[in-house]
Amino acid sequence: MPLSVSEQYHAAVIAIKGKFFGSRDGDEYKQTINDFKSQGKTNIVIDFAKTNLMDSSGIGVLIKSAADIRDAGGDIVLANLEERVKNLFVMTRLLGPVFKDYESVEAAASSFVQS
């Protein structure tokens, strides 16, 4: 799972490509989150436009990182959820109560300006 990082507006963006399995890919993801946090970048968008599969351990990694970032005064929001991945978030009732979902990275990143 290659991760790519960028910045847009007032947010750091992590694009996940391919499959995201917490047991396999979680360490790289957590390190990226920790790097952003240590740099004071706590407004984070996770771009799922090119993510075609995710498992429950991947969701667990996201929940833990969201809690860590929220403790630091920021937030993690999701963008471009592919239908199959979105269904996983819907079935686990995480969209809304835990994660906000946006149609694009631009909309997700600009949500930090509005808050």
Q: Are 42 and 68 in contact (CB under 8 A)?
A: no
Q: Per-residue confidence at 2, pLDDT binned at 50, 70, 90?
A: confident
Cβ burial, residue 64 (10 Å; 0-12/13-18/19+): middle
Using one digit for the tens of pLDDT, what is the confidence trace for 62-71? 999 999 999 9
Structure token digits, residue 45? 């968008």
Per-residue pLDDT, 114? 62
pLDDT of 1 above 70: no
- Whose structure tokens read 């833990």? 64
Residue 91 CB neighbours (<10 A): 9
Pairing relation of β-strands 75-79 and 43-54? parallel
Q: pTM for the full model?
A: 0.92
